[in-house]
Amino acid sequence: MPDRYNPQVIDHLVRPRNVGELEGASGTGESGDASCGDVARFTVRIAENRVEGVRYKVYGCAACIAAGSALSELVSDASLLDAARVSGVDLEEALGGPLPAGKEHALTLVLDALHKAIEDHWNREAGEMLVEGYGGLRAGTGGKKTVVVATSGGVDSAVTALLMKEAGYEVACVTFRLHDGERGSRSCCSPDTVLFARDTAHRMGLPHFTLNLKELFDRRVMEDFVGSYAEGRTPNPCVSCNAHVKFHAASFLADKLGFERVATGHYARVVEEPEGATMARPVDEAKDQTYVLWPVPRELLARTIFPLGEHRKEEVRRIAEDRGLAVAYTPESQDICFIPDGDYRGFVRKSVAAEPGEIVDREGRALGRHKGVVDFTVGQRRGIGVAAPTPLYVTEVRPKTGQVVVGKKADLETREVRVGGLNWFLPPERAGSVQIRYNGRPVPCEMEHAEGGEVVAHLGAPVFGVAPGQSAVFYDGDKVVGGGVVRRDT
């Protein structure tokens, strides 16, 4: 590494380009920390997906000032896709080579500020979509081989983008800011994960965007999660996110860029049936994610690609390793993304004033006390707080009376389940089985239509611990017929 600045750096310091701030900017972004170091601020004017104007201000070291000048010159009057493709390597080349040791942070700092400005532009374009969800779904833009890939910083989404590129698609990557993950955390959507996802995209030569969906995610996922436990239901936040957030946001960006398709790193397959598009289980059944994808709108599914549906997990890691991707051996994400420590009770209690109540048996006899119904879910065995000669399980949660009902495992047996909030891909009559847990096995079923557009699934084998709020997904062989939310046991 050089111990002094290259002539190009000196040139940008002596003759800085695009210094200042745009009036009437369509996006503003800032990165850094004034209390401990450098700060970069970019303003951009974007029209018809082109950077018509860019200005920067940097408060800090010479390397950051020069990097800001060089970056503004690289993206000025560039297409938005080309601007989003500019990488740290490109910026380093514009500055004549590597910066002195200890100054490499300048590249990341100014790139992050620019990307936040572009993110702000998209946020303003999206308007209420960031609060209510995107409703302008368009089924394609003319047959072009273009795709927006949702990337999360992990191996699955990175390989998805790579496979799309190698299949001849023009690819744009997008990462969503869904919640305030801790810095240093590799939890989905943490600040460092966004930077990692961007760097991974740039190393593949792909443009990368971010969308701030925190308000939408809070309203449609986190509030639903907390409210469900307070009402005695068992939610699945991944289902809610797929239903209201990720696929809608990817479709929004695709439409804005004029792109045809969207793709994610889910393990599933899109198949065409005479009635239209639906999903099928993937080649790697151990990674099957069709259960959490049932609420994706049918018209959106028609433009979606799941390339990993044809691969096993070990193949995906091998592809990443063979192509030299740094994500090849990133660990699997197991926790709820906004509760990385796994303490969902503690998370819920921060938002809900839990009231103590009684623990009763199925005959109504009081067996003990609890500190709040939010601590319990149907099927739970551990942490009940009541001693008994045989194991006790939570069989019902009654938020209105504050009671938690417990019983034997046999009391959890269910043979009929009522399901509402349905989303059908194929005619309901095609359903031959239903799956009621993410890792559960499908069981044979027959469906009966009920009031209010709901159905009752008559199960061919008992299922234990079915809880209101869980998803019930119907299958015809390996194809998804549709899905819904468990209302109550009939």
For residue 238, indicate whether it is catalytic.
Answer: no
The answer to whether the annotation marks 192 as part of a ligand binding site is no
Closest by Cα among 211, 183, 217, 185 to 198: 211
Helix (H) or strand (E) holding 160: helix 155-166
The answer to whether the annotation marks 155 as part of a ligand binding site is yes
The answer to whether the annotation marks 154 as part of a ligand binding site is yes
The answer to whether the annotation marks 87 as part of a ligand binding site is no
The answer to whether the annotation marks 361 as part of a ligand binding site is no
**Is 73 exposed, middle or buried, given 0-12, 13-18 or 19+ CB atoms closer than 10 A?**
middle
Rounded distance between C-alpha atoms, residue 56 and residue 343, angstroms: 42
φ, ψ for residue 148, nearest 5 deg: -95, 125
The answer to whether the annotation marks 153 as part of a ligand binding site is yes
The answer to whether the annotation marks 176 as part of a ligand binding site is yes
DSSP secondary structure string, 214-233? HHHHIIIIIHHHHHHHHTT-
Which listed residue (188, 238, 241, 445) is catalytic? Answer: 241
| Token pair listed for 483 | 């899905």
Give the type of residue at 239. Answer: V
Residue 477 region by backbone torsions, left for phi larger than 0, else alpha for psi between -120 and 50, else beta: left
SS3 308: helix
Query: At CA 141, angle to CA 135 and CA 146, rounded to 5?
Result: 105
Rounded distance between C-alpha atoms, residue 211 and residue 223, angstroms: 20
CA dihedral 484, 485, 489, 490 (to 10 degrees): -50
Closest by Cα among 34, 50, 32 to 42: 32
SS3 240: helix
The answer to whether the annotation marks 150 as part of a ligand binding site is yes
The answer to whether the annotation marks 31 as part of a ligand binding site is no
Helix (H) or strand (E) holding 480: strand 479-489
Which listed residue (188, 189, 238, 337) is catalytic? Answer: 337
Closest by Cα among 253, 246, 254 to 142: 254
Distant-in-sequence, close-in-space partners of 64: CB < 8 Å, separation ≥ 6 = 38, 40, 58, 105, 106, 109, 110
The answer to whether the annotation marks 151 as part of a ligand binding site is yes
**Is 24 exposed, middle or buried, given 0-12, 13-18 or 19+ CB atoms closer than 10 A?**
exposed
Rounded distance between C-alpha atoms, residue 22 and residue 120, angstroms: 14
Q: Which residues are annotated as a binding site for ATP?
A: 150-157, 176, 265
Report, as residue numbers or ranges, the catalytic residues. 241, 337
What residue numbers does the annotated binding site cover?
Answer: 150-157, 176, 265
